[in-house]
């Protein structure tokens, strides 16, 4: 008996055009923890839909850094929220991913922020930062400064390449 690849979940696509495609993409569950962190960064950002079947999955147009929570504790499968998997399964989105920032809880031990290394390995991008739960003011400041420097570096490499 031949087992084919697992059928891919497909969703209606909502394309973002260049002007409306920010360099920060995030996912937050109904707990809104990660959204709160991203709000505090005070940068343009777009949210991966909670219900892509109804809202449509987004397709971005510009390079971006991804902020994701880890669904904590237990096995590796399930650490990355399924909406994020669906978003990254789209080659157009994956090609524009430049780095990943992850939220987690040290109580989950070796699985702390596990979504970060999984995405980094899978998509071959650097894991930029980890923070706990809603993040502290220090996390906000580090990420804000870090993102500005990061994009400067990326843009410099592009112009000198």
Partner 1 sequence: MTTTNPTRSLAETSVTPPAYRHDPAARLRPINWNRVGDEKDLEVWNRLTANFWLPEKVPLSNDIPAWGRLTEKERTLTMRVFTGLTMLDTVQATVGEICQIQDARTEHEEAVYTNIAFMQSVHARSYSSVFSTLTSTPEIDDAYRWAVNNDLLQQRCKKVLKHYYGNDPLKRKVSSTLLSSLLLYAGFYLPLHFSVHATLTNTADMIRLILRDKAVHGYYSGYKYQRGIENQASERQNEMHEFTYELLEDLYELELAYSGELYEPLGLMDDVAVFVRYNANKALMNLGYPARFSPGETEVNPEILAALAPSADENHDFFSGSGSSYVIGKGEDTSDADWDF
Q: How far, in Å, CA of 59 to CA of 112, rounded?
A: 29
Complex with partner 1: residue 14 or 82, whichever CB lies closer:
82
Site string for partner 1, 93-122 (x = CB under 8 A): -xx-xxx-----xxxxxx-xx--xxx---x
Three-state DSSP class for residue 105: coil
Query: Which of 151, 152, 139 lies closest to 41 in space, CA to CA?
Result: 139
Question: CA–CA distance from 59 to each of 89, 92, 155 (Å)?
Answer: 11, 7, 22
Complex with partner 1: residue 16 or 112, whichever CB lies closer:
112
Among the candidate windows 18-26, 41-49, 54-62, 142-150, which touches partner 1 by CB under 8 A? 142-150
Half-sphere exposure of 64 (CA within 13 A, CB side): 28
Three-state DSSP class for residue 58: strand
Report the nearest approach of partner 1 to the CB of residue 78 (Å).
8
Q: Which residues pair with 72 in a beta bridge?
A: none
Where does this chain bind partner 1 (CB under 8 A)? 5-6, 8-9, 29-33, 36, 71-78, 80, 82, 85-86, 88-89, 91, 94-95, 97-99, 105-110, 112-113, 116-118, 122-130, 132-134, 136-138, 142-143, 145-147, 149-150, 153-154, 157
């Amino acid at each position: 008996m031949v087992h084919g690849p697992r059928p891919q979940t497909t969703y209606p696509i909502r394309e973002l055009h260049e002007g409306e495609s920010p360099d920060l993409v995030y996912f937050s569950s109904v707990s809104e923890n990660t959204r709160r962190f991203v709000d505090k960064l005070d940068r343009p950002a777009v949210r991966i839909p909670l219900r892509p079947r109804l809202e449509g999955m987004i397709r971005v147009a510009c390079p971006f850094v991804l902020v994701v929570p880890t669904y904590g504790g237990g096995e590796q499968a399930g650490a990355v929220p399924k909406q994020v998997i669906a978003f990254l399964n789209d080659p157009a989105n994956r090609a524009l991913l430049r780095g990943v920032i992850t939220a987690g809880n040290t109580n989950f031990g070796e699985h702390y922020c596990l979504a970060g290394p999984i995405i980094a390995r899978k998509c071959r991008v650097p894991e930029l930062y980890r923070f706990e739960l809603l993040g502290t003011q220090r996390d906000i400041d580090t990420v804000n400064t870090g993102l500005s420097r990061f994009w400067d570096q990326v843009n410099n490499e592009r112009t000198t390449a």
